[in-house]
Chains A and B, each alone.
Chain A
Amino acid sequence: MDNFLTLFETYNVPAAFWVNIQLTFWAAVWSLVLGTLLALMRISPIPSLQWLGAAYVNIFRNTPLTIIIAFGVLGLFGQLQVSLTDDFNLNFFRLAILGLTIYHAAFVCEAIRSGVNTVPLGQAEAARAIGLSFLPAARLIILPQAFRGAIAPLGNVLIALIKNSTVAAAGSVAAEASSLMKTMIEFRGDLVIPIFFTFAIGFVILVIPVGLLTTWASRRLAVAR
């Protein structure tokens, strides 16, 4: 037992989880922005934008996240010398956020679209009847209700994002939790199971409150009909 505890002096486990939380936070913010934009494109009256939105979702929803993240490091950085900052390690961190954003924006878009589906037809008709065109109707009438109807699916995307932040390991973000777990197990092979459960329970602690909170919020904020 003492052996196990000294591991925590050598390796900073909370710091690794903090990296995952940061990855999750930034990717969540950006994918919410991009996903909302895509959802707007998909419900807009303009065919070329509808097509672009649908193509984006179909492509990135069907691509493994691992490929997207690996592409960020091997393709964007390695081959095209794209860099988002001069700091070497921060660059990998940002490329991982970029990859996570691109992937999850497709799911955010679908979640918001399913929220749009909860808005009754009469709301859109009323908006048109008082003379609102597409963008004002979307901004004032449809999206506010759609977001409230989309809290549960958006919460599911957020939970997936927290777990998927570990895939940043494929993007050379060595400070995050799954990479640290690998290092720790390689260092202390006799403690495989306690080390795994430490990290697993860490994720359970992160994920379960988010699930409870979004379920509560989706009930609390549901539009009464």
Chain B
Amino acid sequence: MSAQNVLFDAPGPKSRRNILIGNIIGALLIAGLIAYVVFLLGGKGQLAAGKWTPFLEGRTWEFFLLPGLLSTLKAAAIAVVTSVLFGLIFGLGRLSHVKPIRWFAGLVVEFFRAVPVLLMMIFLWLALGRSNLVEDAPFWAVVIALTLYNGSVIAELIRSGVQGLPKGQREAGLAIGMTQMQSLRTIEVPQALIAMLPALVSQFVVILKDSALGYIIGFPELLQNARRLGVGEGNLLQSLLIAAVIFIVINFALSSLATKLSTLLSFRSKGRARDETLDGIAAAEPEGTLSR
């Protein structure tokens, strides 16, 4: 149901008036909030033109924001590919009919879903840095930590996607002489992936957001560069805001894509899209899946 119109009737004259009054109060509230923020910022001199003009200069973007955005996107893009691979392998592992494999995959997935990404990132950063295995320890720490966590979430997505398929799909596969793995690989997982595509895209939003954790371990991503810029130009507040806006725009586009996909694909697959997310962060679910 669409929550928006069940809770109240089509308004009559009296409730139309009440809604109008409420609307005016709401609008005043919003205007008041904005005015308060502007007043607060203005009082501290944060609205001075000099604090904002650096964003009109090419070198701000060339040396700080764009390189930062590029490393954020690079880390996120690699993590997307590796976590889908990780998710496929361990998702199949959890569905395997060999007990030890299922057990092992379950253990790995549950472990990495329960450990904070930041904890893994700090550990990998210090461990890789000490071992001299790779040149760019913060970058690989970010990528590997994101892969382990999000790959585990994707493994769970794939598992629940396969379990949401009608039983007949698997039975038909077995009936024409496929092994369990063949039926999984060629019949069930492809359908599960389509049913789970919106949730998968939402998970990419999580990857992009969590790449900002690299800030804490000194990975020169967007937030880190925005901070450096802000310290240099004396406009920390404004730099952080601009970085936040860049993140919001990209993530909002991805979230909208997920919502579109979920309406588009609702006709495509026999699989039922998940209606409850596995993880609070993944609660960035597309709105389409909220309906019953």
Contact = CB atoms under 8 A, between A and B. Distances in A.
The answer to whether A and B belong to the same complex is: yes
B41 to A, nearest CB: 8
A156 B279 contact: yes
Q: Helix, strand, loop or mixed for chain B's interface?
A: helix
A130 B103 CA distance: 54
B7 interface: yes
B49 to A, nearest CB: 17
Given A50-B4, A62-B252, A192-B127, A178 B237 contact: no
A75 B241 CA distance: 9
Contacts of A118: 292
Given A52-B30, A156-B277, A43 B248 contact: no
Contacts of A133: 8, 15
Interface residues of A, number: 75
Interface stretch (A1-9, A83-91, A105-113): A105-113
B119 interface: yes
A90 B6 CA distance: 45
B290 A113 contact: yes
Interface of B: 1, 3-4, 6-9, 11, 15, 19, 22-23, 26-27, 29-30, 40-41, 44, 46, 110-111, 114-120, 122-123, 126-127, 130, 205, 208-213, 215-216, 223, 227, 230, 236-237, 240-241, 243-244, 247-248, 251-252, 255, 275-285, 290-292
9 contacts: A47-B26, A52-B26, A66-B223, A74-B236, A134-B7, A153-B276, A163-B115, A170-B216, A208-B110
A204 B115 contact: yes
Given A46-B23, A52-B29, A74-B230, A67 B126 contact: no
A79 B44 contact: yes
A175 to B, nearest CB: 15
A42 to B, nearest CB: 8
A76 B237 CA distance: 8
A63 interface: yes
B101 to A, nearest CB: 22
B213 A66 contact: yes
A219 interface: no
Interface in A147-165: 152-153, 156-161, 163-164
Contacts of A182: 122, 126
Contacts of A46: 19, 22-23, 26
Interface of A: 42-50, 52, 58-59, 61-67, 70-71, 74-75, 78-81, 104, 107, 110-111, 113-114, 116-118, 121, 124-125, 128, 133-134, 137-138, 142, 152-153, 156-161, 163-164, 166-167, 169-170, 177-178, 181-182, 185-186, 189, 192-193, 196, 199-200, 203-204, 207-208
Given A62-B205, A70-B223, A166 B116 contact: yes
B248 A75 contact: no
A160 to B, nearest CB: 3
B244 A67 contact: yes
B209 to A, nearest CB: 4
Contact of B244 (A63, A114, A138): A63
A166 to B, nearest CB: 4
Contacts of A192: 123, 126-127, 130
Contact of A117 (B15, B123, B240, B290): B290
A212 B41 CA distance: 46
A156 B40 contact: no
A189 B290 contact: no
Interface centre among A46, A156, A160, A203 (most CB of B within 10 A): A46
A107 B244 contact: no
Given A48-B23, A70-B227, A124 B283 contact: no
Contact of B123 (A42, A45, A196): A196
